Amino acid sequence: MTDLDTLSVNTIRTLCIDAVQAANSGHPGTPMAMAPVAYELWQRVLRYDPDDPIWPNRDRFVLSAGHASTLLYALLHLAQVKAVNPAYETVGEPAVALDDLKRFRQLDSKCPGHPEYRWTTGVEATTGPLGTGVATTVGMAIAARWQAAYFNRPGFALFDYDTYALCGDGDLMEGVASEAASLAGHLKLANLCWIYDSNQISIEGSTDLAFTEDVATRFTGYGWTVTRVGDANDAAMLAKAFEVFHREERRPTLIIVDSHIGYGAPNKQGTAAAHGEPLGEEEAAAAKRFYGWPVDEPFTVPDAVYQHFATGAGARGRALREEWTSLLEGYRAEYPELAEDLDLMRRRELPAGWATAIPEFPADPEGMATRNSSGEVLNAAARAVPWLIGGSADLAPSTKTRLTFDGAGDFTRDDGGGRNLHFGVREFASAAVANGLSLAKLRPYWSTFLIFSDFARGAIRLSALMELPVVHVFTHDSIGVGEDGPTHQPVEQLVSLRAIPGLYVFRPCDANEVAETWRTLLPWRHEPAAVVLTRQAVPTLDRSRYASASGLARGGYVLADSDGEPEVILIATGSEVHLAVEAYEKLTADGVRARVVSLPCWELFDQQPDDYREQVLPPSVTARVAIEKGATLGWDRYVGTHGAIVGMHTFGASAPLKALRTKFGFTQENITGVARDLCCYS
């Protein structure tokens, strides 16, 4: 290292020390130890333009060890990365000002405790709990390969970016990292590099307490190239490790970097303890003296360091981005249709007229499972939207999420242009990969059975937290699974998904509500959705007799109504709407004024104006029955204190569906009886 390199690394270290100390909260150890590694990557390797931090062919850097957030914030500040607004415009302000670092972990600072996508420009992903960040990068690497296959043409290599992640022992202990690493090795994602900070320390102490496996051998078994840097401060070995990655053409790369928490400070015992807490004034001062830094001048940044980053990372990134922009202009002239697709994808927009491809379904008393109609709609939409891509956690034949039209193909280690992904039995990784695809501006979906959504919950939550328009498709949505029994019958999962802020949960009742579900959600740019579908066939309602399925766009609507104000309102979702319709017909025939409300998406309905919601659910009508084959939590907001809920209060049972309906009260006779009792009571 030159003196200027050392000065830059120590600037990163001391900014991290000062930020954590000012907040009296945070993790200074890993940033101090890994500062030389991050510096080498950013200053000499990363293809990234601080003046245009969202240009599509930039390399991605993801801090999976998100507790070390000050490391990323220091880099963003020193590189003078420019902020980008929600309209994807660079506004000229710094993404991370020095004042933001001074207010680390404070309200409204651009430097929260863990990096947050959409909050701080330059944060490529909200990594959240350990392991999830590296799993997300697998989606980014898949996206790069797909974009290259779809857009690149001879002489126009628009997409060839790499994805890097910095992870630690905690990341590699988590199962989702193993799921994702296995998938990446299988797909031979040579554009993916994980940098593993092997420091043998976790919150409880030495990793000898619980983590003594041979990581190198494990990743070799996954099909990765593994290289080792014995000292995080060895710039020459770090450079060689990155060269190994760039030469590799058939495997992802793991760079194992041996480090010590707080490496370089005089008091090793104290700095090891600082993994999860500030150094304290005395040790912070000692560390600064060791680095030759002014002790009484916090947040010191020598002007030479700013200039050094500008002539290194900044100049290299600007030249690469300008070269790419020039290439794009030539591409527009040669391939205008593809260039238009690229523009639409970058803005998260859809091709003109895409919705005309969505089919309508004729009335059919036999009907079809909503998973089947969803498969038809998905295929129709995917033909019109080339970057709609996804797959299943080994269940595509059951979830009906395979794209079957000519040219769809499979994404494999040898074909990066296929649109069917095979995730294997890896639910958590599937959802995390889908997030990574979305971060690269593809329009992804993935699928499994509803009961297995629990395995993926961490990544589903991050879809909502990052405001990514990922579609999570869940089938086998109720005790309708039947003989498979309670282990496979979702009861509490609908409530659990509805509890996630910003996630829109759809449970359509028939084929036409399915069509409207996809028509509604696909244009969204920032809202994730869970689409919950049946295995069993349900009738396709006669929309000349009942209301149009277009009402789904408002979350809930009056499906069937009475003459005059209703005496009782039946509210249902999914397959149970048909039970409500049967009960409605019986009540109407017996002279009871009844209304059926289909409520496929609570979140959308709750966003409607008060007058619309009161038209659908008049406050004057207190006799209300909610019907759903799931936990009842939350339904009281719609039925009120005088209503009733026909739902699940226990787990299910193993039996044919007809027997289960009778046992748990999901019959027309029971619902009609409950409604009559409410009418009499009211």
Instruction: Give the CA distances from residue 561 to residues 299, 544, 567, in Å, rounded to whole numbers and listed in that order.
Output: 67, 13, 11
What lies within 8 Å, CB to CB, of 404 at 6+ separation is 379
156, 44, 180, 158: which is closest to 458 by C-alpha?
180
Q: At which residue do the structure tokens 């979350």 appear?
A: 555
Share of the chain above pLDDT 70, in %: 97
User: What is the rounded CA–CA span in Å between residue 118 and residue 84?
Assistant: 9
User: What is the rounded CA–CA span in Å between residue 186 and residue 214?
Assistant: 20
| 427 among known catalytic residues | yes
User: What is the rounded CA–CA span in Å between residue 245 and residue 658?
Assistant: 58
Q: So what's the pLDDT on residue 276?
A: 63
Backbone angles phi, psi at 16, to 5 degrees: -65, -45
**Cβ(418)–Cβ(474) under 8 Å?**
no
> What are the tens digits of pLDDT across the range 434-466?
999 999 999 999 999 999 999 999 999 999 999
Q: For residue 262, what pLDDT band results from cuts at 50, 70 and 90? A: low
Q: So what's the pLDDT on residue 269?
A: 33
Q: Could you say which of 40, 427, 576, 628 is catalytic? A: 427
Indicate the SS3 state at residue 596.
Answer: strand
Instruction: Give the CA distances from residue 211 to residues 180, 196, 256, 271, 330, in Å, rounded to whole numbers and listed in that order.
Output: 19, 14, 15, 21, 52
Average pLDDT over every residue of 221-242: 96
Q: For residue 217, what pLDDT band results from cuts at 50, 70 and 90? A: very high
Q: At which residue do the structure tokens 């005790």 appear?
A: 479
Please give the mean pLDDT across all residues of the chain.
Answer: 94
Burial 169-193 (b: 16+ CB within 10 A, else e): bbbbbbebbbbbbbbbbebbbbbbb
**Cβ(142)–Cβ(411) under 8 Å?**
yes
**Cβ(630)–Cβ(490) under 8 Å?**
yes
Does the pLDDT of residue 273 top 50, yes or no? no
User: What is the rounded CA–CA span in Å between residue 338 and residue 174?
Assistant: 40
Helix (H) or strand (E) holding 458: helix 457-466
User: What is the rounded CA–CA span in Å between residue 634 and residue 495?
Assistant: 7
**Cβ(635)–Cβ(655) under 8 Å?**
no
Average pLDDT over every residue of 138-157: 98
Does the pLDDT of residue 275 top 60, yes or no? no
Q: So what's the pLDDT on residue 206?
A: 84
**Cβ(288)–Cβ(229) under 8 Å?**
no
Average pLDDT over every residue of 633-648: 96
Q: So what's the pLDDT on residue 681?
A: 58
Q: So what's the pLDDT on residue 4?
A: 95
Average pLDDT over every residue of 332-338: 98
Q: Give me the sign of the Cα torsion angle 119, 124, 125, 130.
A: negative
Does the pLDDT of residue 202 top 70, yes or no? yes
Helix (H) or strand (E) holding 438: helix 427-439
Residue 409 φ/ψ region, left for φ over 0, alpha for ψ in the -120 to 50 degree band, beta for the rest: left
Domains of the chain: 3-264+272-322 (3.40.50.970), 354-539 (3.40.50.970), 549-681 (3.40.50.920)
Share of the chain above pLDDT 90, in %: 90
Q: So what's the pLDDT on residue 302?
A: 96
> What are the tens digits of pLDDT across the range 166-189?
999 999 999 999 999 999 999 999
617, 610, 609: which is closest to 638 by C-alpha?
617
> What are the tens digits of pLDDT across the range 296-309?
899 999 999 999 99
Q: So what's the pLDDT on residue 432?
A: 98
The pair of structure tokens assigned to 540 is 């396709």
Q: So what's the pLDDT on residue 493?
A: 97
Q: So what's the pLDDT on residue 277?
A: 78
What lies within 8 Å, CB to CB, of 514 at 6+ separation is 370, 373, 374, 377, 508, 533
Helix (H) or strand (E) holding 457: helix 457-466
Indicate the SS3 state at residue 528.
Answer: coil
Residue 441 φ/ψ region, left for φ over 0, alpha for ψ in the -120 to 50 degree band, beta for the rest: left
> What are the tens digits of pLDDT across the range 405-418?
999 999 999 999 99
Q: So what's the pLDDT on residue 464?
A: 98
Does the pLDDT of residue 201 top 80, yes or no? no
Helix (H) or strand (E) holding 422: strand 420-422
The lowest-confidence range among 277-281, 605-609, 617-621 is 277-281
CA angle at 624 for the pair 622 and 627, rounded to the nearest 5°: 160
> What are the tens digits of pLDDT across the range 570-614?
999 999 999 999 999 999 999 999 999 999 999 999 999 999 999
User: What is the rounded CA–CA span in Å between residue 368 and residue 143?
Assistant: 34
Question: Taking the complete model, does pTM exceed 0.85, yes or no?
Answer: yes
Average pLDDT over every residue of 357-381: 98
